[in-house]
Amino acid sequence: MSLLSEDDKKYLKELFKGMKKDVNILFFITEDKKLCMMCDDVKEILGDLKTLSDKIKVKELSFENDKDEVKKYDVRMAPSVVLLSDKDLGVKYYGIPGGYEFSSLVEDINDIGNDFISLDESVMDDVKSIDKDVHIQVFVTHTCPYCPSAVRTAHKFAMVNDKIKSDMIDANTFYEYADTYGVSAVPRVVINNKDFFEGSLPEREFLKRVLNSLK
């Protein structure tokens, strides 16, 4: 049985119909079987997505062997998914974009393909004007309905400003890594490795946290 239902495929095909730009998806797999338990599922899903729009390109890479790409895109763990337009956007998923995070992936792809990021104008202006490096990590679980909104806000910020990089991190897959950040409730958002908050915040509030962290 296919993971995506026929209904889902129909919906996605329609959604991706008008995309103008290429969306490049890099999927880094790892030889660590335990971490990569669901990698085959992801391959299947990405394969499906590819057939739904000719703008979606998928490339599978090895975390252990494709050293150049790992370095180029600053990939720190695998499995992971890196989303690119014609350039690196600083948008990553560590762990697989499954469960509720599948929606985040779909919406990210849609934003990149349509070259349109739905941020409130004033928020957009303020995000664009950030001139310092920002690294946002959003810890999630696949079963957390509140998490995609935090992931999406972080990813949108990254898409509109090259200085900003943002990662979704599946706290189950990368349990030990999450533990070093003391993650015991999700979403937990960590900004520049020093400031953090729990929960989903409206875009403007999220932005405030980022700006405060730069002070």
Partner 1 sequence: MMLNLNKGSNLPSEKTYDLIIIGGGPAGLTAGIYAGRSRLKTLLIEELVVGGQASTTERLENYPGFPDGIGGYELGLKMEEQAKKFGVEVLFGKVEKTELEGKFKNIYVEEKIYKSKSVIIASGATPRRLNVKGSEKFHGKGISYCATCDGALFTDKKIIVVGGGNSAVEEGLFMLRYTKDIIFVQDLPFLTAEKILQERLFENKDLKIYYNSEIISINGEDKIESMSVKDKKTNKNFDIQTDGIFVYIGLVPKTDFLDKNLSINEYGYIKVDNNMKTNLEGVFAAGDVIEKNFRQVITAASDGSIAAKSVEKYLENFKEV
Nearer to partner 1, 42 or 91 (CB): 42
Minimum CB separation of residue 88 from partner 1 in Å reads 26
What is the H or E stretch that residue 167 is in?
Answer: strand 164-170
When asked if residue 81 is in the footprint of partner 1 (CB under 8 A), the reply is: no
Calpha distance 16→10 (Å, rounded): 10
Token pair for 103:
């929606």
CA-closest candidate to residue 41, choices 109, 94, 96: 96
Minimum CB separation of residue 47 from partner 1 in Å reads 14
Regarding beta strands 164-170 and 88-94, do their DSSP bridges make them parallel or antiparallel, or are they unpaired?
A: parallel
Q: Which of 53, 80, 137, 149 binds partner 1 (CB under 8 A)?
A: 149
What is the H or E stretch that residue 90 is in?
Answer: strand 88-94
Nearer to partner 1, 11 or 130 (CB): 11
Q: Which of 51, 184, 193, 212 binds partner 1 (CB under 8 A)?
A: 184
CA-closest candidate to residue 151, choices 115, 99, 195, 193: 99
What is the H or E stretch that residue 178 is in?
Answer: helix 175-180
When asked if residue 198 is in the footprint of partner 1 (CB under 8 A), the reply is: yes
Q: Which of 51, 65, 143, 212 binds partner 1 (CB under 8 A)?
A: 143
State the Rg of the chain over Cα. 16
Q: Which of 13, 17, 116, 182 binds partner 1 (CB under 8 A)?
A: 182
Residues that bind partner 1 (CB under 8 A): 3-4, 8, 11-12, 15, 38, 41, 45, 96, 98-100, 102-103, 106-107, 120-122, 141-149, 171-172, 175, 178, 182-186, 188, 198-200, 202-204
